[in-house]
Amino acid sequence: MTGPKTCTLAVPGAVLTYDVRASDSSAQPVLLLAGAPMDASGFAALAGRFDDRTVVTYDPRGVERSPRADGETGSPPGEHADDLHRLIAALNAGPVDIFASSGGAVNGLALVARHPGQVRTLVAHEPPAAQVLPDRDAVLATCEVIHETYLRDGFGPAMAKFIAMVSQPGPLPADFARQPGPDPARFGLPVTDDGSRNHPLLGRHMILCTRYEHDLDALRSAPARIVAGVGADSAAMLPGRAAVGIAGRLGSAPVSFPGDHVGFGSQPDAFAVTLRQALSN
């Protein structure tokens, strides 16, 4: 595998920046690693564990090196899916294998529903798909409150409430959105508002990602193989529960991955072993 080559792709309303770690001798499909709102840098450790195949990472629309023309940070999953569609076409690499995590997994599922022929295997790791959760209403109400808190009070209070939500084991209580958020200082977060309102998670992404309604019929009929991944240490938390829910709706069993929601960064060696198995089975 060569070092990453950085490229750009103009798409309607944005310019995407992506990195290609090429392995010219590999006959395996390109492996695309996708997050949201996490940028490409979050997959650096995992990408290095796949030096036997070409690996592509990218910054999603509105994040870091991929600015939207209107300056916004959040984009709906359908728009992200169309960006992935254009990126795969520009690579002339389909069908590809995709490992997608968090909001990236939501976008990956939207891609398979819209452009099923471009994907061989999608490993959707802990997508926060509220649609399949029994506490859907409580989750969506809490996301609204977090977003409103961010707009009103800034980063610290909103992130503290977000951490409380994603750390809650099991379904959220019906009144969770109305409960006071924890003190930001408890998590080492700022207690004063710096006035910025461009955080990629707490802005529009928070609402657009969790409210997305997946086309489950299209996913069930797609030729792509879909694997729902769950962190061994986070299966009881919101995104892990959603991954189990997606697997159930698609008639498959979830695959347990080492670590938690970001196990690919904290335990890249063990995580890569499980990912290779998930892609090859």
Q: Give 221-236 pLDDT, tens digit per residue.
A: 999 999 999 999 999 9
Q: Which residues of the chain have pLDDT under 70?
A: 1
Instruction: Supply the pLDDT for residue 85.
Output: 98
241 HSE (CA, 13 A, CB side): 19
Instruction: Kindly report the backbone phi and psi dihedral angles of residue 230, in degrees, each rounded to the nearest multiple of 5, phi listed first.
Output: -130, 130
What's the pTM? 0.97
- Return the number of other C-beta atoms located less than 10 Å from residue 99's C-beta: 31
Instruction: Supply the pLDDT for residue 251.
Output: 97
Q: What residue segments make up the domains of the chain, in order of their start? A: 5-129+212-280, 136-207
Instruction: Supply the pLDDT for residue 244.
Output: 98
CATH number for the segment(s) 5-129+212-280: 3.40.50.1820
Instruction: Supply the pLDDT for residue 73.
Output: 87
Instruction: Supply the pLDDT for residue 1.
Output: 67
Instruction: Supply the pLDDT for residue 25.
Output: 81
